[in-house]
Amino acid sequence: MNTWMEEKGTPEGTDTLLQSIFAHISDAVMVVDRNGIIVAVNAAMERMSGWSEDELVGNKHLCEVCVGMATCQEEKSCVDCFFKRAQLPSFEMRLKTKDGREYPVAASSTTLPDAPDGKKVMILRDMSMQQRMEKERYQHKLTHFVIQAQEEERKRISRELHDGIGQALYSILVGLNVLSHGKLSGPMKQHVADIQQMTAKAMEEAKRMALELRPSALDDLGLLPALRSLIKRVEKSFGLTVDLHVHGGWSRHSAAVETALYRIVQEAMTNTAKYAQARALGIVFEEREKELVVTVVDDGTGFDVEQAERNGSGLGLFGMKERAQLLGGSFDIRSVIGEGTTVIVRIPRPKEEAKDGHTRLDR
């Protein structure tokens, strides 16, 4: 690169400044001649492409490091190539590295008007990090909408089950009760009793499903009463002893926080019941000045967390993490084979809440 700059000749001192910028700028710079042969590169271009200056300069054609321009339709296309234009101030291209990777760069290309042989200078900025961040942001947004929509739908179906089917079954049961007290023949009495029993069972089932989908206590009474009722059901169904401990006190929080914590504890409890062969499960709620901390500990078999995450067989661990992260919090799971598993969730408290505090509901 020195040769061309020196050839050009600039006011005294400017050469050194230009050379220093060329050498140290974090964007990759590449100069190509009118045939597309690379004639100069800076250090950032060497880093970005993986090729050394010697390998590139005089030895490589532009098309060997560029796999095309990105358009709205295609990720790489050579139609309307920037090289055919005198100037293109901003476009996206895909750079091909020495080790065969391809990644997006934001580029600009200018033909230097007073450079010999119509040389073009190209400036390339690595976009892979920005694109990754954008993708992650988009995925978080999407997950947020999915979780929200799922909760809304669960709420709706739960209400329908409770108020619609549940009420209808109750009316049928009342009718059957009246019928059973009337004058009925022996076989008919038995028949009505059977239907009564089936209806009562269906009613129980509808109630259980409504509760599982979304307990109304969560909205009406808050997280702790809803969890206590869930704990009773888990203890009864799985023969597990669950100890719920509230450290200090616990207030009511936003619906988003209460729902997230309910679902996280629910999933942790279900996992323990399903896989851990645990005898006991402890849940601790702690309201600190700046954050809410919930810990769920079991004394079960433990498991290899990394492997489970790699296998990605279920959605439970992923969902717990997503829910915590969506509220700006964190989710940690530690497990020791033979000793058990601990889940720790931290959710930051909104500033006003941390300052004013809430009515303590549970001491």
| Binding region for [4Fe-4S] cluster | 63, 66, 78, 81
Single out the residue of 259, 271, 295, 335 in contact with Mg ion (rule: CB under 5 A): 271
**Segment contacting ligand ATP (CB under 6 A): 42-50, 213-221, 251-259, 298-306?**
298-306
Q: What are phi and psi of 356, to 5 degrees?
A: -80, -30
Smaller CB distance to Mg ion: residue 104 or 302? 302
Q: Is 294 helix (H, G, I), strand (E, B) or coil?
A: strand
Question: Which of 266, 269, 251 is closest to 323 using CA atoms?
Answer: 266
Binds ligand ATP by CB under 6 A, chosen from 316, 350, 354, 362: 316
CB-CB contact of 234 with 273 (8 Å): yes
Instruction: Figure out which of the listed residues 316, 330, 344, 361 binds Mg ion, where binding follows CB under 5 A.
Output: 316
- For residue 327 the two structure tokens come to 């509220």
Footprint on residues 265-284 left by ligand ATP (CB under 6 A) = 271-272, 275-276
Contact between 146 and ligand ATP per CB under 6 A: no
Interface with ligand ATP, residue 126, by CB under 6 A: no
344 is a contact residue toward ligand ATP (CB under 6 A) = no
- Residue 291, helix vs strand vs coil: strand
Residues 216/157, Cβ–Cβ less than 8 Å = no
Residue entry with tokens 């001192």: 13
295 binds ligand ATP (CB under 6 A): no
Cβ-contact 88, 108 below 8 angstroms: yes
Note whether 300 binds ligand ATP by CB under 6 A.
yes
Residues of the binding site: 63, 66, 78, 81
CB nearer to ligand ATP: give 199 or 341. 341
Interface with ligand ATP by CB under 6 A: which range of 21-29, 202-210, 247-255, 307-315?
307-315
Residue 227, both tokens: 């969890």
The answer to the question of residue 1 lying near ligand ATP (CB under 6 A) is: no
Spatial contact of 206 and 244, defined as CB atoms under 8 Å apart: no
d(CA 113, CA 135): 39
Beta carbons of 249 and 361 less than 8 angstroms apart: yes
Is 308 a binding residue for ligand ATP by CB under 6 A? The answer is yes
Residues whose CB is less than 8 angstroms from the CB of residue 266 and which lie 6 or more positions away in sequence, other chains included: 230
Q: Which of 182, 313, 351, 352 binds ligand ATP (CB under 6 A)?
A: 313
Binding residue for ligand ATP (CB under 6 A) from 56, 317, 327, 347?
317
The answer to whether 266 contacts Mg ion (rule: CB under 5 A) is: no
Q: Which residue is nearest to ligand ATP (CB)?
A: 314
Nearer to Mg ion, 83 or 275 (CB): 275
Rounded to the nearest whole angstrom, what is the least distance from the CB of residue 151 to ligand ATP in the complex?
17
* H runs (alpha helix) in the chain: 2-8, 14-24, 43-49, 53-56, 62-65, 128-159, 166-180, 186-213, 216-220, 223-238, 255-271, 305-311, 316-326, 351-356
Kindly tell me which of 258 and 322 has the beta carbon lying closer to ligand ATP. 322
Does 305 help bind Mg ion (rule: CB under 5 A)?
no
Distance of CA 172 to the CA centre of its chain: 46
By the 8 A CB rule, do 27 and 124 touch?
yes
Instruction: Kindly state the smallest distance separating residue 303's Cβ from Mg ion, in Å.
Output: 11
In terms of CB distance, is 134 or 339 closer to ligand ATP? 339
What's the closest the beta carbon of residue 336 comes to ligand ATP, in angstroms? Answer: 11
Applying CB under 6 A, which residues contact ligand ATP?
Answer: 271-272, 275-276, 298, 300-301, 303, 308, 313-317, 341
